[in-house]
Amino acid sequence: MSGELKAVLQERLHKNYEDFLAQLQEKSPSELIAMAPEIVAAKQCREELPDACDDDDIQFLLQFDDPLELVRGYWESEITGYDHSGEMGHMLWRIREDYPDILEPQSVVPIRQDEIAIDPVMDFSGREIIVYIEMGEKFDVGKRFQVYPNIDDVYSLYGKYDPVSQTLRAELHIEEYEGDARVEPVELLSDEQEMIVGMMEEICKKDTGKSLREVWTEHHPAINRKNLHGKKHGRNQNER
Domain boundaries, the chain: 2-80, 113-228
The pLDDT tens digits for 82-115 are 776 677 777 877 877 777 666 555 567 889 999 9
Q: Which of 133, 117, 157, 189 is nearest to 149 (CA)?
A: 157
pLDDT of residue 108: 76
Q: What is the Cα–Cα distance from 220 to 98, expressed in whole angstroms?
A: 47
Q: What is the arithmetic mean of pLDDT over 152-163?
A: 92
Strand extents, DSSP E, 52-104: none
The pLDDT tens digits for 75-89 are 988 888 777 667 777
**Overall pTM surpassing 0.95 (yes/no):** no
Q: What is the arithmetic mean of pLDDT over 200-229?
A: 81
Beta sheet of 181-186, edge-to-edge order: 116-118, 129-135, 154-162, 167-175, 181-186
Q: Check whether 48 has a pLDDT greater than 70.
A: yes
* Averaged confidence pLDDT in the chain: 85
pLDDT of residue 228: 40
Q: Is 30 left (phi over 0), alpha (psi -120 to 50) or beta?
A: alpha
Amino acid residing at 65: D
Q: Which of 227, 231, 207 is nearest to 217 (CA)?
A: 227
